[in-house]
């Protein structure tokens, strides 16, 4: 079951962040490693890893379900915001293609405790639709 983080920093986010554990294949320059997500949104994600990378490090990330990595893949570009002891807080800079966008959207909506709110956030911020009046 998914939950929304209640920590005040999470409450200021533009997009609902959902708890979701996905496998993450991460590349940064000539370094490659595997991590897992703790949570994600359209704006960012948290990667659980022992590897400490400095803020500003650019990452190419492929996200996929841990039980079926060949079934669904989401390719994104992200930037490390902070290392927090158990992993990396990252800002999503780019979703690489339409298919990745659609899969990420489904991950968020399926795991959101309020899918209608999450869809409204996507519509308002990513698709440029105005908030219903």
Determine, yes or no, domain membership for 54. yes
Q: What is the CATH number of the domain that holds 117?
A: 2.40.10.220
Determine, yes or no, domain membership for 131. no
Other beta carbons less than 10 A from residue 93's beta carbon: 12
Place of tokens 């000539």: 30
Determine, yes or no, domain membership for 17. yes
Range of the domain at 89: 8-126
CA distances from 35 to 32, 118, 120 (A): 10, 25, 30
What residue spans of 12-114 are helical by DSSP H? 98-111
Given a cut of 60, whether residue 117 has pLDDT beyond it is: yes
- What does pTM read for this prediction? 0.82
Average pLDDT score over residue span 78-99: 95
Determine, yes or no, domain membership for 133. no
Given a cut of 90, whether residue 37 has pLDDT beyond it is: yes
Determine, yes or no, domain membership for 1. no
Give the tens place of pLDDT for each residue, 12-32: 557 888 999 999 999 999 999
For the chain, how many structural domains are there in total?
Answer: 1
Determine, yes or no, domain membership for 81. yes
DSSP secondary structure letter of residue 61: E
Given a cut of 90, whether residue 71 has pLDDT beyond it is: no
């Amino acid at each position: 079951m998914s939950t929304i983080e209640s920590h005040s920093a999470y409450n200021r986010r533009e997009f609902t962040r959902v708890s979701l554990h996905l496998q993450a294949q991460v590349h940064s320059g000539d370094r490659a490693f595997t991590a897992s997500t703790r949570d994600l949104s359209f704006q960012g994600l948290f990667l659980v890893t022992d590897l400490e990378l400095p803020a500003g490090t650019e990452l190419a990330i492929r996200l996929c379900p841990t039980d079926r990595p060949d079934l669904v893949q989401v390719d994104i570009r992200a930037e490390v915001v902070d290392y927090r002891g158990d992993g990396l807080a990252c800002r999503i800079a780019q979703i690489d293609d339409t298919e990745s966008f659609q899969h990420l959207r489904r991950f968020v909506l399926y795991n959101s405790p309020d899918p209608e709110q999450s869809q409204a956030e996507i519509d308002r911020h990513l698709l440029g639709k105005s908030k219903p009046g």
